[in-house]
Chains A and B, each alone.
Chain A
Amino acid sequence: MSFELSYELLVGLLVLTAAAWSVAARDTYSATVGFVSYGLLIAIMWMQLQAFDVALAEVAIGSGLTGLLLLSAAARLRAAEARVTSRPPVMLRIVAALACTAVSVSIAATVLRLPESAPSLAGAAVGALPATGLGNPVNGVLMAFRAFDTLLEKVVLVLSLVGVWSLAPEPGWSGRPRLLHPFADDGVLRFLARTLPPIGLLFGAHLMWNGADEPGGAFQGATVLAAMWLLVLMAGLGEAPRIRERWLRVAVVAGPMTFITVGLAGIGVAGAFLAYPEPHAKSLILFVELPMMLTIALVLALLVAGPPEPTAGP
């Protein structure tokens, strides 16, 4: 047991080191590298906490997509940030450090004084799970017991995409998102962009399908798909779609719309919004998850790709 604890102590120290580095590093680009490492380490921590679904989401989002998003922004802002040398005065920093320590200490005190018999909804969730036909309680919570949250979360995704798109400069509106900068590359990146996506597609589908009974799910699968699509775009094997394209706009709302439609149908069939009729619960959930996965993959990739920009070339 003490062996286990020392492994966890190591992981904890690593997480804190990476976090401290991503705050303290002088250069933002290296801070971002630190943040990506942090995302990876915290996923290992989630695994130690036995929360595999969360670990999957954290690895896919935390160190994958957020990493690329921040890295490309850091690379663009590098020149502008290099001019910044001033830091807040020492006194101010000490005061800030003291205040932050106070916050940390009070949270830590709360953690140490959590009640011995922890409240839990695990029993209720497992008890109601057979009605959904699913085997993964986390997915049951996401898709059935708290489906409203999940629906709104997808709406948030779509809205933030609308927000990002609306930041396009006027001549760029209805153009294509420009992904990073064209990268002078012969063959090597293209080779990876041709060989990795088949593995990724297969695995993404596996995650979604498996998510019904094992850790995984539509969101985690979609992140892998989004990463593969971005890889193809970055290698120059394909072009990001113009945002005025009708199929794109339909695809972006397809997931939430299916969810809402099934939810509305639930009023008539099962007596409440987002309620599933019991014998068909599992097939309905999978029916909702499939378009939702495509929507999520598309939206995640387009969020990373950023607003459309006027292109100089053809």
Chain B
Amino acid sequence: MTEFLLAAAGAVMFTVVLGMVRILRGPGDADRVMAAQLLGTGGVAALLLSGIARGRPASLDLALTLAVLAAFASIGFVKGAAMGQDKSAEGDDDP
């Protein structure tokens, strides 16, 4: 079982890495944010899998920290991206 779970963690990491191509290529901010979010979720999944496989409860705490702070960082991304837009297009649909 341990082997399978570790292999699964590797597989998730690998797929997520493919997604990192989107961070590199863009084209828009939204695409980069999406890839980063996928990386966060994939990281959480990989941490859970390898943590359970090796019987390390601490990695669950780590995954939860990651989940909470990834949500927080994504908000930062979105705000930053929205600000960039506001600069170029003055308040188009802001109340």
Residues of chain A at the chain B interface (Cβ within 8 Å): 3-4, 6-7, 10-11, 14, 17-18, 21, 29-30, 32-34, 36-37, 40-41, 43-44, 47, 52, 55-56, 59-60, 63-64, 67-68, 71-72, 74-76, 78-79, 180-181, 183-184, 189, 192, 196, 199-200, 203, 206-207, 210, 214-216, 220, 223-224, 227-228, 230-231, 234
In the complex, what residues of A have CB within 8 A of residue B83's CB?
72, 75-76, 180-181, 183
A101 vs chain B, min Cβ distance (A): 23
Within 8 A of A (CB), among B66-95: 66, 68-73, 75-77, 79-84, 86-87, 91, 93-95
> Nearest 9 pairs between A and B by C-beta?
A64-B69, A184-B94, A75-B80, A68-B76, A52-B58, A71-B80, A75-B83, A215-B58, A227-B72
- Contact status of A71 and B76, CB under 8 A, knowing A29-B29, A210-B61, A215-B61: yes
**Cβ 8 A contact of A184, one of B33, B64, B87, B95:** B95
Is there contact, CB below 8 Å, between B13 and A14? yes
| Residues of chain A contacted by B76 (CB below 8 angstroms) | 67-68, 71-72, 180
A-B contact pairs, 28 of them (CB 8 A): A3-B3, A4-B6, A14-B17, A14-B20, A29-B29, A30-B32, A32-B80, A33-B33, A40-B70, A43-B66, A44-B13, A44-B46, A44-B47, A47-B47, A47-B59, A56-B62, A63-B69, A63-B73, A64-B69, A67-B73, A68-B72, A75-B80, A180-B80, A184-B82, A189-B75, A215-B62, A224-B65, A231-B72
A39 and chain B: residue at smallest CB distance:
B73
A-B contact count (CB 8 A): 161
CB-CB under 8 A from A200, the residues of chain B are 68
Main secondary structure of the interface of B (DSSP, over half): helix
- Known contacts: A33-B23, A63-B70, A79-B87. The answer to whether A192 contacts B17 by CB under 8 A is no
In the complex, chain B residues whose CB is within 8 Å of the CB of A18: 20
Proximity bits, B36-78, A CB within 8 Å = 1, else 0: 1001100100110010000011110110111011111101110
Residues on B lying within 8 angstroms of A by beta carbon are 3, 6-7, 9-10, 13-14, 17, 20, 23-24, 26, 29, 32-33, 35-36, 39-40, 43, 46-47, 50, 56-59, 61-62, 64-66, 68-73, 75-77, 79-84, 86-87, 91, 93-95
